[in-house]
Amino acid sequence: MKKVLLFLLVALLLLAAVLIFRTLSFHSKQIKVEAVQLYKTDDAVIQRLSQAIQFKTVSYQDSGKMDTSAFNGLHRFLQHSFPLIDSLLTLEKINTYSLLYKWRGSNPELKPILLMAHQDVVPVDPLTLPGWEHPPFEGVVKDGFVFGRGALDIKSGITGEMEAVEYLLREGFKPERTVYLAYGHDEEIGGRQGALQIANHLQQQNVELEYVLDEGGSIISGIVPGIEKPVAIIGIAEKGYVSLELSVEEEGGHSSMPPKQSAIGILSAAITKLETHPFPTKMDGPGAVMFDYVGPEMAFGMRLVFANRWLFGPVIESQLDKKNSTRATMHTTTAATIFNSGEKENVLPIKAKAVVNFRIMPGDSVQGVIDYVKRVINDERIKITTTSQDPDEPSGVSDLSSSAFGVIHKTTAEIFPDVLVAPYLVLGATDSKHYKNITKNIFRFEPTRLDDADLKRIHGTDERISIESYKETISFYIQLIKNSNE
């Protein structure tokens, strides 16, 4: 008995030693640099953002509804507002409405960088109009904010990047490394007419990029429990996308003599199976890399937990499982989005049809999802097909040890000295996926400060950007172009 107790005691002490050793060697991954003073910008930058918002460059699901005059208007506006860019950079219009600017560097040996954004915005639901404090397309400047559709997503990206380039041109800066600015016109409906065409165009010229910086993460306060500081989340991967249509055809007939299971019943059972058999979670994927960056910044107790994920993995997982937004970072998600069947109350339907949308974790694949769904449903009566919407494979995972990530991390630390940097997995889809053939380094980060309320305004009501934050955004891009030159 004594021996057993002694053994247990030694085992416990050993375990404690391992846990503590791992905690003490769980070092900060934050780059320590001197803060850089923000570059001076005048209020004209605010006016230009406000004006850019006023062009109703809306993307509709039905691309025939596109208002081409709004896009042409925005093009003319950019041309007049950034005269040095207009005279010193080359502009190519790709597929008529997408913009590709090239600022040629002096050293052709260096791979170019490409900064992205998109011209289009999502429509404003007319039912939400009364809820807008300021009309969505007037670019109202008030109380320290610029209001309007696209303020965050992402006219501020276009004007922010162009302000930075115009500033550097004014200063006489000459890049060694070529800088591209690329603005697609249909990101909100998949980017196949815009960003994809830009990327194809560059690929035809054998361009290989050092890195691409697109939207995705931003600087968010209160996003990580146990971390007081705002966190700059930088997307290193994004999920794939596929929708599957499940359909059943049965005999139909009169509802007074029904079969034991109707078309509706068969299909409902299939959906239930999918919901009760979610895709397995992964605690080692790109969704979890964030812990390596925020973990070391936490108080000792939490640091111990994150430094020892081999032991506390299940505890962390159960915490992440509590919120839809964090659960989605751990696995391929399943969302039944459409369900149609039945016409009349006393007639058995011949057909039932449902659509289930999957967001695919890097490491999984479109085919993997289809196989999994067939296996789980395991019912010959159900036909499973992909919908007309083209599926997207999940992205690769960008390399955190690349100099590209180093430059973005360093620039963030210089311009936002109070902020922590953490890589993360983007749950939605961005235009950056179209660039996968011409660079290994795709990062998704909009250098703008947001809080929880701002997040809801993206694609929502009363979208706005803080003037103070927008000026930091411009400084970030100036500093990023400078740092990328080294």
Contacts with Zn ion by CB under 5 A lie at 153-154, 215
Residue 176 neighbours by CB under 8 Å, 6+ apart: 105, 106, 107, 110, 485
Q: How far is the CB of 158 from Zn ion (least distance, A)?
A: 11
* Residues 47, 55: Cα–Cα separation, whole Å: 13
Out of 186, 187, 392, 463, the active site residue is 187
Instruction: CB nearer to Zn ion: give 156 or 281.
Output: 156
Q: How far is the CB of 55 from Zn ion (least distance, A)?
A: 16
- 100-104: long-range pairs with CB below 8 Å, 24+: 100/180, 100/181, 100/182, 100/183, 100/198, 100/201, 100/202, 101/165, 101/180, 101/181, 101/182, 102/178, 102/179, 102/180, 103/165, 103/175, 103/178, 103/179, 103/180, 103/181, 104/178
Angle at alpha carbon of residue 41, lines to 36 and 44, rounded to 5° = 160
Instruction: CB nearer to Zn ion: give 341 or 432.
Output: 432
Instruction: CB nearer to Zn ion: give 149 or 309.
Output: 149
Q: How far is the CB of 216 from Zn ion (least distance, A)?
A: 9
Q: How far is the CB of 462 from Zn ion (least distance, A)?
A: 17
Instruction: CB nearer to Zn ion: give 116 or 236.
Output: 116
* Residues 424, 443: Cα–Cα separation, whole Å: 10
Q: How far is the CB of 343 from Zn ion (least distance, A)?
A: 39
By beta-carbon distance, which residue lies closest to Zn ion? 153
Q: Which residues of 287-314 are buried (b: 16+ CB within 10 A; e: fewer)?
A: bbbbbbbbbbbbeeebbbbbbbbeeeee
Q: How far is the CB of 360 from Zn ion (least distance, A)?
A: 20
Q: Quick one: three-class SS letters along 14-77?
A: HHHHHHHHHHHCCCCCCCCCCCCCCCCCCCHHHHHHHHHHCCCCECCCCHHHCCHHHHHHHHHH
Instruction: Look up 163 and say whether it is catalytic.
Output: no
Q: Quick one: DSSP state of residue 1?
A: -
Instruction: Look up 210 and say whether it is catalytic.
Output: no
**DSSP 3-state of 362:** strand
Catalytic center residues? 120, 187
